[in-house]
Structure 1
Amino acid sequence: MSPKTIYQITSDNAEPRLSTIKPLIVQLGCTADEIIFDDDELKLPTELQMILKNITQLPDEKQEIVKEMLKGWVTYQLTQEMNKK
């Protein structure tokens, strides 16, 4: 990928195709989220960052349990919100 193409994409002068995003990520050494989302869309509150960091300290099987619990709770909350409408 040419430096000109990278510049155009990173300066919002071009809309990359999906086939362009992966090579861009590799060349820039970043994540897809960093390319696609604005900084304010990705920032987690400090308290959540700390909780997630603590979860990563748990053994893998405990991390899986926490993830499943969180998925279940989020699904429940979203269902409750949908039922209110």
Structure 2
Amino acid sequence: MFDPKPNAPAEYRGPFSTIATKLPGVRFTELFPKIAAQSDLFSLVRSNVNHSGDHLIAGSLGLTGDTADADTHSPNFGSIMARQRPATDVGR
């Protein structure tokens, strides 16, 4: 969705078209026009490397800094953002 590869062979591309963003050479799926319009305001991580072959553990590690089975229960990244910067314009 964020790296749709529009020049790949048809059998590898998804069913949606791509749209330009504010960043040169970066295209998003047509499903994200509002995000594409604000693409100069955030960073997009295109790759992630960790030492776990388990998606659950890797996701937990990336979002909280702990593995999913850790004794500590750190808040999810989204929870921290919601608390630190609550939404002021829902649906924007």
TM-score (norm 1): 0.32
Larger CA Rg, structure 1 vs 2: 1
- Structure with larger RCO (C-alpha < 8 A, sep 6+): 2
Give the structure with the higher percent helix. 1
Give the structure with the higher percent strand. 2
